[in-house]
């Protein structure tokens, strides 16, 4: 069927509730009720220590105490006056970030030209999409070069990126020379109005905080275990591959490629550290990219208040600030999920008579690239981004096989490097997922079962996974039960459900429902795994704001609600003991890194001589460890497993052959993993094994021990040389 012949019902001029003033009162009443519920809910709090009483404050307590203690909380930005400041030591990091973003922006501009979309988007959404496209190309290129073993050959990488730059830039230069294509659809300008500028000023404290915590050295367990630890090891090895001791190296790591690329070019003695900070900062800035894309997309799809409210709602969400400060990647693939949906939302909301003039091919390729990049950041994007967005394209394009084929092809091109890498290294393209489906998977049946059990849907006390109480908990989590989901979104989103813009509301709601169903029905239901749904929720909230904005009372209510949300968000993200963010954004990087380094790792950094390798077990979060190390996560075989059945002489020879001079054992972590309901840990790691090696004269316990001397929590041993008794 031709696009010109498609007919659909035009948008109704009135809202579904008949008189839109009803939605104004719905917003006001709903916001008051929601605010009471939000502030009165008790939130989770760390378990009390010996002799302490349990403390379960409400969110209202947190906000009240935060406002009273705001000067003291802001003092933590400077380390409370107890740590050296280091503002200027961030200049090099920021310079690297700016350089990468400028290069990415140019690549994005060039590719939009190739796709005939150069003049299609507005100023704000166009700028953000340029950055997203360029960073996608840099990530994809770095992955390809890493698979080829070129990570320690900067000249080869420079030449490759230069070829990419020139090949894409040629078409851009030609188009500038001949002027814009008159057939291109041109989006209205998105120059900020006066009110938006005032709101930008109101968000300044949160924006400063978000940028500041993005530069803070990493400390979150997943980040120092694999999000930044794996790129560090790839750089040191000179090649991207599945590491034998870190199962997470099989995951797609599209976001981490920016840290890996930075390591290649950073002129520093600790290249991996400063390169990681550049990559972590770029990942942290995606909260701002989400807000920018929401502003431009909302303004184009629904109106100025939609863009404004959607962007402000995102800035006020503590979960997004949390992922910026920790270096987690959930917000990154949340951005790419929104970016993948945006082109098809444009198609679906365009009047029928104007659809034929749209650059369908370019929009389909752009959508596929963004969906593929979302998958390249994290596997769940297959179900949360690729499949539902393709479904929307099927509805929009019907039997236009070229458009659908281009969208699928773009997805496959972006995801192929990660799938090929895993297939070659492990026999399983989606390693470590779906191990039972691929008989060539390199893991044992027990290890596959351990992984599946650790990542299955959790059970309640009765052993049920899908009870009514769990369902209600999942629903309340989605609508604001999480303390870090933000105050602004839910009442505005409810108003958005009544909007007459059905061709916009329905697809957004479908995407949100898919996110929730996958999260509740197929994951282990960690709250932060709902972060990718937040941008979509913010867009729906923006639609609700646009609906009530024509009325003066509605605008006053919006300003009050959004202003309160920004204030509450700012207070909550500075509650470092609850949200676990490090707020010391002006303390020196060296001091912060030292404060985030485990004592055992610090001791090894100070005492291990050059040339010695550390053999570690238990602790897999070894990002700050400087000497070479052999280690493993709880899902991998211990690297010293061959020692178990060896004689004393064979053990000495095995250790000497690998230059292993030290053993680092974290029994506290091992006990944690072996506790009921946890991930489990390899059975070969026993205290008896190390005691036997000590009795054989192979190991000598150093002075570094923590915990009970009879059964220490952490112990470091020195390996005797083979010529010693």
Joined tokens for residue 83: 């740590």
Structure tokens given for 521: 């029905």
Whether residue 10 is predicted with pLDDT greater than 70 in this model: the reply is: no
Question: For residue range 390-417, what is the model confidence (pLDDT) as tens digits?
Answer: 999 999 998 899 999 999 999 999 999 9
In sequence order, the 6+-apart residues with CB closer than 8 A to the CB of 178 are none
Tracing tokens 């044992």 back to the chain, one arrives at 444
The mean predicted confidence, pLDDT, of the chain is 89
Give pLDDT tens digits for 113-159.
999 998 899 999 999 999 999 999 999 999 999 999 999 888 889 99
pLDDT of res. 191: 43
Whether residue 43 is predicted with pLDDT greater than 90 in this model: the reply is: no
Per-residue pLDDT, 14: 44
As beta bridge partners, residue 616 has 664
pLDDT at 185: 45
pLDDT(5) > 60 = no
Please, which residues bridge with residue 58 across strands? 42
Predicted confidence (pLDDT) per residue in 328-361, tens digit: 999 999 999 999 999 999 999 998 888 989 999 9
More confident residue, 529 or 30: 529
Q: How far is CA 304 from CA 56, 298, 388, 712, in A?
A: 40, 7, 27, 61
Instruction: Give 406-442 as a DSSP string.
Output: HHHHHHHHHHHHHHHHHHHHHS-TTTTS-GGG-TT-S
How many alpha carbons lie under 13 Å from residue 710 in its C-beta half-sphere? 0
Torsion angles phi and psi, residue 184, rounded to 5: -70, 140
| pLDDT digits 0-9 by tens, 536-580 | 999 999 999 999 998 888 899 999 999 999 999 999 999 887 788
Q: Of residues 16 and 615, which shows the higher confidence score?
A: 615
Q: Over the stretch 586-616, which tens digit does the pLDDT of each residue have?
A: 999 999 999 999 999 999 999 999 999 999 9
Read off the pLDDT band of 11 (50, 70, 90): very low
pTM confidence score: 0.93
Task: Report residue 720's pLDDT band, with 50, 70 and 90 as the boundaries.
Answer: confident
Query: What is the per-residue pLDDT for 46?
Result: 56
> How does residue 45 score in pLDDT terms, banded at 50, 70 and 90?
low
DSSP string, 679-701: ----TT--HHHHHHHHHTTSEEE
Choose between 57 and 286: higher pLDDT: 286
DSSP state of 224: I
Round to whole Å and give the CA distance between 487 and 31: 9
- Map residue 526 onto helix, strand or coil: coil
Going by pLDDT thresholds of 50, 70 and 90, the confidence category of residue 34 is confident
For 448-453, what is the mean pLDDT?
Answer: 94
CA gap 638, 139 in Å, rounded:
31
Question: Which DSSP string do the residues of 303-334 spell out, in sequence order?
Answer: -HHHHHHHHHHHHT-HHHHHHHHHT-SHHHHH
Count CB-CB contacts under 10 A for residue 62: 20
What is d(CA 140, CA 376) in angstroms, rounded to the nearest whole number?
Answer: 9
Q: How high is the pLDDT of residue 540?
A: 97
Nearest by Cα to 655 from 590, 602, 720: 720
Report CA-CA distances (Å) from 279 to 101, 218, 257, 409: 11, 11, 8, 28
Q: Enter the DSSP assignment of 79.
A: G
Span 155-205, pLDDT tens digits: 889 998 888 888 888 877 777 666 544 444 444 444 447 888 899 999 999
* Farthest CA pair distance, the chain: 91
Distance CA 104, CA 68 (A): 43
Assign 12 a pLDDT band (cuts: 50, 70, 90): very low
How far is 296 from 535, CA to CA, in rounded Å? 13
Distance, C-alpha 554 to centroid of its chain: 35
Which contiguous run of DSSP H or E holds residue 661? strand 660-666
Give the pLDDT band (50/70/90) at residue 449.
very high
Q: Which residues of 377-413 are buried (b: 16+ CB within 10 A; e: fewer)?
A: bbbbbbbbbbebbbebbeebbeebeebbebbbebbee
What are the beta bridge partners of residue 85? 587
pLDDT (tens digit, 9 = 90+) per residue, 238-286? Answer: 999 999 999 999 999 999 999 999 999 987 777 899 999 999 999 999 9
Q: Is pLDDT of 482 > 80?
A: no
């Amino acid at each position: 069927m031709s696009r010109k012949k498609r007919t659909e019902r035009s948008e109704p001029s009135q809202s579904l509730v008949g008189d839109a003033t009803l939605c104004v009162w719905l917003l006001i009443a709903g916001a008051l009720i929601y605010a009471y519920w939000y502030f009165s809910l008790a939130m989770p709090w760390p378990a009390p220590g010996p002799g302490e009483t349990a403390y379960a404050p409400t969110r209202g307590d947190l906000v009240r105490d935060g406002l009273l203690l705001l000067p003291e909380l802001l003092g933590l930005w400077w380390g409370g006056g107890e740590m050296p400041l280091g503002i200027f030591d961030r200049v090099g990091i920021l310079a690297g970030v700016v350089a990468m973003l400028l290069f990415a922006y140019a690549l994005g501009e060039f590719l939009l030209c190739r796709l005939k979309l150069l003049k299609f988007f507005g100023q704000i959404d166009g700028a953000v999409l340029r950055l997203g496209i360029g960073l996608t190309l840099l990530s994809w290129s770095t992955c390809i070069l890493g698979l080829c073993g070129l990570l320690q050959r900067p000249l080869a990488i420079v030449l490759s990126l230069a070829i990419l730059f020139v090949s894409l830039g040629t078409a851009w230069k030609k188009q500038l020379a001949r002027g814009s294509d008159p057939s291109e659809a041109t989006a209205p300008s998105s120059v900020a109005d006066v009110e938006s500028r005032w709101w930008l000023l109101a968000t300044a404290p949160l924006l400063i905080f978000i940028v500041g915590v993005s530069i803070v050295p990493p400390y979150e367990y997943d980040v120092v275990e694999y999000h930044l630890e794996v790129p560090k090891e790839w750089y040191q090895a000179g090649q991207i591959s599945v590491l034998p001791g870190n199962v997470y190296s099989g995951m797609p790591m599209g976001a981490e490629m920016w840290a890996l690329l930075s390591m290649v070019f950073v002129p520093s003695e600790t290249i991996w550290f400063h390169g990681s900070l550049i990559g972590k900062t770029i990942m942290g800035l995606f909260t701002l990219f989400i807000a920018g894309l929401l502003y431009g997309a909302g303004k184009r799809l629904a109106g100025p208040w939609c863009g404004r409210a959607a962007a402000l709602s995102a800035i006020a969400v503590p979960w997004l600030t949390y992922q910026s400060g920790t270096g987690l990647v959930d917000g990154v693939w949340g951005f790419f999920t929104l970016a993948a949906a945006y082109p098809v939302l444009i198609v679906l909301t365009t009047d029928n008579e104007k659809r034929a003039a749209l650059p369908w091919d370019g929009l389909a390729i752009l959508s596929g690239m963004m969906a593929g990049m979302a998958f390249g950041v994290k596997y769940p994007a297959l179900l949360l981004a690729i499949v539902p967005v393709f479904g929307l394209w099927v509805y929009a394009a019907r039997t236009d096989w070229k458009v659908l084929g281009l969208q699928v092809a773009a997805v496959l091109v972006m995801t192929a490097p990660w799938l090929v890498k895993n297939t070659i290294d492990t026999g399983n393209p989606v390693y470590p997922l779906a191990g039972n489906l691929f008989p060539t998977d390199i893991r044992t049946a027990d290890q596959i079962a351990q992984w599946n059990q650790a990542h299955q849907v959790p059970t309640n006390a009765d052993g049920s996974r899908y009870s009514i109480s769990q369902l209600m908990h999942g629903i309340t989590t989605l609508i604001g039960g999480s303390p870090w989901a933000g105050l602004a979104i839910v009442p505005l989103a409810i108003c958005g459900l009544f909007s007459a813009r059905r061709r916009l509301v329905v697809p957004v709601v479908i995407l949100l429902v898919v996110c929730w169903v996958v999260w509740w029905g197929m994951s282990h239901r960690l709250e932060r795994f709902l972060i990718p749904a937040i941008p979509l929720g913010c867009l729906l909230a923006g639609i609700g704001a646009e609906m009530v904005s024509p009325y003066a009372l509605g605008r006053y209510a919006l300003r009050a609600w959004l202003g309160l949300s920004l204030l509450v968000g700012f207070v909550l993200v500075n509650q470092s003991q609850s949200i676990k963010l490090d707020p010391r954004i002006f303390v020196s990087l060296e001091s912060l890194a030292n404060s985030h380094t485990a004592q055992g790792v610090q001791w090894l950094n100070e005492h291990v001589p050059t040339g010695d390798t550390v053999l570690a077990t238990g602790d897999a979060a070894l990002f700050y460890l400087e000497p070479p190390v052999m280690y493993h996560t709880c899902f991998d075989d211990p690297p010293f497993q061959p020692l178990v059945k060896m004689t004393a002489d064979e053990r000495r020879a095995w250790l000497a052959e690998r230059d292993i001079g030290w053993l680092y054992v974290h029994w506290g972590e091992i006990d944690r993993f072996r506790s009921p309901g946890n991930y489990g840990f390899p059975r070969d790691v026993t205290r008896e094994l190390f005691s036997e090696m000590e009795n054989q004269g192979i190991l000598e316990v150093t002075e570094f021990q923590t915990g009970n001397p009879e059964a220490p929590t952490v112990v470091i041993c020195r390996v005797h040389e083979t010529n010693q008794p």
